[in-house]
A and B are shown apart, each in its own frame.
Chain A
Amino acid sequence: DAGVTQSPTHLIKTRGQQVTLRCSPKSGHDTVSWYQQALGQGPQFIFQYYEEEERQRGNFPDRFSGHQFPNYSSELNVNALLLGDSALYLCASRLVGASTYNEQFFGPGTRLTVL
């Protein structure tokens, strides 16, 4: 049973560039959430996708956008990169309605460095 996978593992970009991060949810899961974790901080919720639509969004600018595909995989796009976007980006998946609480399964993350 494959867990949550993310690609790439590491990424280096320069300011102003655009980046796309990818996530495949755990087998059987249909909901994907993205989190940003700055060094020394807890993860912060970016947004959540379910049925190919953004369902919830955290306090992130429109430079952060996403997409969910029919196979439930997801992409996170960040435009006009800033130095402050350097962080670990985590993807988490869950199955809506499968449990009475919101346990999420996290991937290993993508480390983004903006120079």
Chain B
Amino acid sequence: SQQGEEDPQALSIQEGENATMNCSYKTSINNLQWYRQNSGRGLVHLILIRSNEREKHSGRLRVTLDTSKKSSSLLITASRAADTASYFCATGGTGKLIFGQGTTLQVKP
């Protein structure tokens, strides 16, 4: 079963705009990760945030984590057409990842 839900399920924006997607989870976590998937192919690891961190940055990505609300958000700033993909949050223990259902992002040129 899925760990939680992602919101929105789909997002369409213009190039240059910011994209925000949210993830909720159900159980206590040690860390939360975000992955990107292009066109139904393999997943690419984007960023990991630990349970004792509240915010983390990587390039144009900003991730926040609110353990009291069991939620995380991924912000992509100054989006590009190449950011068009599905984005998944994942939690898990030693090797087993539990994914959300994902947000499909379309960035229009």
- On A, residues with C-beta under 8 Å from B are 4, 31, 33, 35, 37, 39-45, 48, 50, 55-56, 58-59, 88, 90, 92, 94, 96, 101-109, 111
In the complex, which range does the number of interface residues on chain B fall in? 20 to 34
Q: Which of A39, A96, A103 contacts B45, CB < 8 Å?
A: A103
Asked if B93 lies at the interface with its beta carbon under 8 angstroms from chain A, I say: yes
Q: Which of B45, B88, B98 contacts A104, CB < 8 Å?
A: B45
Whole-angstrom CA separation of A69 from B35 in the bound complex: 28
Given that A42-B2, A101-B31, A103-B33 are contacting pairs, would A33 and B42 also be in contact in the complex, using a CB cutoff of 8 Å? Answer: no
Q: Residue-by-residue, is B64-83 near A (CB-CB < 8 Å gives 1, otherwise 0)?
A: 00000000000000000000
Are the C-beta atoms of B102 and A42 separated by less than 8 Å?
yes
B30 cross-chain contacts in A, Cβ below 8 A: 101
17 further contact pairs, Cβ within 8 A, besides A37-B40, A96-B95: A4-B42, A41-B102, A42-B2, A42-B90, A42-B99, A42-B102, A48-B95, A50-B95, A56-B96, A59-B1, A92-B97, A101-B33, A101-B48, A104-B95, A106-B44, A107-B42, A109-B41
